Every structure is written in C-alpha cells, then in structure tokens.
Copies of this chain bind each other. A is one copy, B any other.
Amino acid sequence: MSIGGLAEDRAYGNWHEMLERERGRDDRVDLVTVATPNATHFEITKAFLAAGFHVLCEKPMTMTVSEGEEIVKLAKSSGRICAVNYGYSGYSLVRHMKAMIARGDLGRIRLVMVEFAHGQHADAGDADNPRVRWRYDPAQAGVSAQFADCGIHALHMVSFVTGQEVERLSADTVSCITSRELEDDAMVNFRMTGGIVGRLWTSSVAIGRQHGLTLQVFGEKGGLRWAQEQPNQLFWMPLNQRLQVIERGEADLSPEADRTTRVTIGHAEGMPLAFANIYGDLAEAIRAEKEGRAVDPAANLYPRAEDGLRSMAAVFAVAASGRADGQWTDARPPMFR
C-alpha cells in the first residue's frame, strides 16, 4: 500500500526518523529535498549531508553566514551534492543568456539592472494578517524581509548569468508601510568581479506588478532583457543593430537551452518546468557519478551551497548598509574574502 504514491514503510513521521531508516536501506534515496520552515534548513541539510545523502535545500539555505560557511565546508568534505533551489535559474532562456554571455556575444559586461517587484503586501489592512506579518518581524524573519525573500533570487540570477560574484554593495531599505520593522522595499547598488556595476530593486508594495523578476544585462557589444512573467522570449539587441526576439525552442540555440527545451517553439513553458530543470541537473549529476563519467556541462548548472552562502552574506550586508544610510559594505562571505 502506498500513501500519496509513497510506499507505506517510507512515509516517515519526521526527518530524524527518515534519516535513521533511509541510511540503513540498500535502496536509500539519492536526493533529499529540504522544504521545511526556513529556520530548520541548516540543521536538516547538515544532517543529511553528513549521512552521505545528496541534498537540495530550499532557499534560504541558512539563517546566518557562519552556518552557510559550515554547510559549504561540509558539502566539500563529504563529496555530496548540496544544491539550493534558486529555481528561476532553471528557465531555458535564462540558461541561454548565460551561454551567450559566456561565449562573448555581449563582450565585457558593464551593467546589470534587475528587479523583483510585486504588490502582494501592499495592503496596510493586512498588517495583522499572520501570513504577512511574520515576514516583517525580525524575531521570525531575521534581519531582512523583502530582500531576503525576493532580492536574493534576483541577485543569484545576476551571478548565474554573468558568472561573476558580488563584492560590495550599498542599500537603501525602507518600510513603506511604516508599522513594519523590516523593509518592504529596497534598492541595492553593487559591484561585481569583472568590474560589473549592478542595480537591484525589490519591492512588495508595487501594486500592479505581479511577480516582476526582470533581468537586464548590458555589455560592450549588446544588451539582453528577460522577464519572468513572459519567460519564453528573450530580447536581444546587438550594438548598433535592431532589437531581436529570441524564442525558446528556436533552432541553433546553445546546448544549455536545447537541453531544457521540451516542447516546440511557440508553446509556452512555465515556472514548474524551470524548477524541473534544476531537478534534471541533479539527476544528471547523480547518474554521472554512478556511471563514473563526467557530468554534461550543459546540465552542470544547479545552484550550489556556495550560492546559498553568498546570498546569506548579501542579506546581512544589505541589512547593515541599510541601517548605515547606504554605506558601502563588503558583501562577500568571510571565507571567500
């Protein structure tokens, strides 16, 4: 008999039980997904990694930078996969952006402008709604609300497509609904390795925006624009030429795009398949390990513990800079300085 498709003897009551019983099985699971409340991610991820399981942790990976460093070290020493679910990086055309930049289509990248703005928490009348309130309460949410919730997705996307890392940042954090302790809107200016200038806007009071994760990358030789709400088109303008519309599913895109394309051009693929692509990457990595072969480079793109750690360092840097009137702040985890 099965429970929701799960064999009865493997439907565990809690993660401790799962860990104990799975580690003893010959057919133990390959990959454990950690999708529990945020504050428990660190403990569970650590335990399963230590026990030799591959792990995919929901974001945020940890609540502090030092926990993040501990996970990174453990992932390294254990030789296990520790992935973090920045699922938007799974979109086919986001991967094509990365490929275009890596192969030099844009030349040196000068500037990125990224937004993740929505209006889901714009109703001041919701201030007592527990589903909203906890997010802006430091006791429950930590040092940051909107940046920690949405901003780090956007910041990860920038690193993902450019292949560069954030070094320092200056943040303007505000509570547009003034009863909130934590920010519901933030503007973050930053600098990356490779000399890239970055700007990131995130908001939860932007009424009229649904889920506006938008990424613009400007290089010496061209500019790219992609928006999560219309993910099957990528707008590309080569310097001194015309705007072109790259369609998901076009012939002759990059291997990274081809690998993540399921249906033909003109048929939208959405967010669930973007997230599935992350799982596809992990399946390939696990299979390659079992088969003793190299991982397909076009699949070797899942976000890693290092990304989870860098996000946490950025969250603390944003909070510190925001409190200090936008003072420029080191955004790197200590272990990467």
Contacts and interface: CB of A to CB of B under 8 A. Distances in A.
A238 to B, nearest CB: 8
- In the complex, the count of this chain's copies comes to 4
A205 B270 contact: no
Interface string A233-271: 001111110111111001000000000001111111111
B263 A236 contact: no
Contacts of A328: 325-326
Interface stretch (A23-31, A158-166, A217-225): A217-225
A216 B205 CA distance: 12
B208 A225 contact: yes
B209 A326 contact: no
Given A211-B265, A270-B273, A189 B176 contact: no
A272 B205 CA distance: 32
Contacts of A237: 119, 207-208
B208 A111 contact: no
Contacts of A197: 174, 176, 185
Contacts of A236: 208
Contact of A210 (B174, B211, B247): B247
Interface residues of A, number: 71
Contact of A228 (B176, B216, B267): B267
A113 interface: yes
A325 B327 CA distance: 8
Nearest to A222: B207
A206 interface: yes
A172 interface: yes
Interface of A: 110-111, 113, 117-119, 122-124, 170, 172, 174, 176-177, 185, 187, 189, 197, 199, 201, 203, 205-212, 216, 218-220, 222-225, 228-232, 235-240, 242-247, 250, 262-273, 325-328
